Structure 1
Amino acid sequence: MDDSKGKFGFFADARRLRSFLRQSWRSADASMRRGAVVMWCVGLMFTIFGVVGDVLETWWSSMPFLTNLLTSLTAFFFAVPVALLVLHDVSHRMTDRAGRRAAMAVLAQSMYRLEASVSALGPVEHSRHSPTGGPPLTTGSILEAARARFGRLQDLEGGNAEDIREATETLRTAIAQWKLDRLPDQFIEEVGRVDIEIARLRDAVRPRFLQSDLEWPLDRQLHSLAEMANDLIKRPEQWTIESYNEWCDVAERFSQDFDQKSEITLLEINAVFDLLRHVQAMHIRRTTFVQALHDFNLSARTALWELSSL
């Protein structure tokens, strides 16, 4: 079967060559294009001169060396620009490919450092089995349950002894879960390292991607992560282990005091409710940041995998 006009054969090769030369011309800068046009014009002049010499048949046929030299010069002025354009295009493509690989390698290094921070910051939340056989309880859900209990006591303006006992039990559960879901050592220092790496990604890695014409799909996540890291770093004194667990001592004193009472005042209820609200806000800030860091790493790894498959 004749496939000369398909994917193979003379015509297909000619189309590919024409496309390659067109791409080489487009990738060349203005000075190289001007030089190529000038050399082709000189070659055209030599061609016309040679054709005229052949037609007149005067002294031309008696000077073989000169005619061969003119033929060589004509070929030189036509071939050299094509060779330079092709070599420039190949060099440009190799440089682009090297730049892309270098940019991807820099991003991979940043991901390695951020993954180390993810490991140091620990899991997003610890969980415990539900006593009712339901889904596992997390620190966030347990804190919310305790706050809701004391919110109900606020609505009841004290409640009865059973309400107080149940609220006190949820407070103890929250304290125990908080201690289980402990703050990692040097938490704020690790957040600072993440912040430095975020700045490096924004100011060094991202420009390299854009210069190499690579897609950079991480802007929104990077901006959000930077804001959360800066928010945590603003008050580093909150994120020492002593400060992080300080509320537990206060809450335990409240729970011990409530065990000895059948009635508690609205002032005490409000104090515990505000304490739980403050602690819940701290927990949300911490877990949101760690989860965002997890998600960012996953997105970056996915982007690297997609780029490496191109």
Structure 2
Amino acid sequence: MSDWDRVVANSPDAPAVVVQRTVGSASQQATVAAVLDELEATAGQLFPAWLPGAEGITTSAGAAPVAVRRLAVAHAAATAQSGPFLADLAAAALTGSTAHTRRHPPEVRARGLARVIAASFDRPGCALVLRPPDHLDEAATLALAQAAQWLVDRGRLTVWIDSDSPYGIDSPPRATEPPRAAASPPARPRREPRGSARPTPSVVGKPHPASRAEVELEAALARRSWAAGRAWNHTVRPGPLVNPVRVDLLWKRERCVVEIDGDDHRTPAKFTEDRHRDVMLQLNGYAVLRFTNTQVLDDIDNVLVLLQQFLTNRRRTGKGL
């Protein structure tokens, strides 16, 4: 486990970490705008996790956009959010249109987006890891560094730049100062998309907010004493010579991995990747149990029975302990 993973995994106050690829640009303003557009797309995919009361609104038809705007204004009044921005963001997430969100100043967008992403994972803040293209020229490197510093100073984000640029970007932050933009943080494994062209972030210790199956399974497990010791979205290194992998659900002591598979896992490429991961884990003492989203959502009682039976047997025989 890297130092960066250790901070996120062990600290209850760790931020929600978003990894974002950037494009090279010679303009600080253009770089900031591109980063904010990507953060807004992420916030849209996380909706309605960050807006209490909007869980049942799943269509943009009729009065739904008006309803989410009212919910957003009421929620902003009880938090540190900007009401007009949050209302525009909620409507954009529901309708898919960003026509109104971009009318807000960049600093309002940056602070608002950081807050809603953090709220989606019940975390106190949001950290951004920027991964630029290889071989940026000096002008693009400078623009990226300036944009990152702007996001820190004006957007109040924690920002890291994961770059091998030969021009150098900044020095790591001192512990007595607010986080600053810095080059090359320890690498974090990224989560693959769940049936979507754009991945949404997952946070160590939490079910993925965009996965209804994970959220409902965690709600059921939270009421059962035998489920103690579980951890969501943790990184596992199957062996000393094997790359680490991110698993959906883990009982570390029992060396039990549970994967919740969406429809995308039926594709030949994904099926092959899953089997390779399973073999690597099994060769190093982990048991891998796989359930589909449909099994969890339509027959969760059976899933719970199977999990309880497996964990009870594992504990009784001492396997994996």
Instruction: Give the TM-score of the pair, scaled to structure 2.
Output: 0.18
Structure ranking higher in helix proportion? 1
- Rg larger in 1 or in 2? 1
Instruction: Give the TM-score of the pair, scaled to structure 1.
Output: 0.19
Which gives a bigger RCO, structure 1 or 2 (Cα 8 Å, sep 6+)? 1
Structure ranking higher in strand proportion? 2
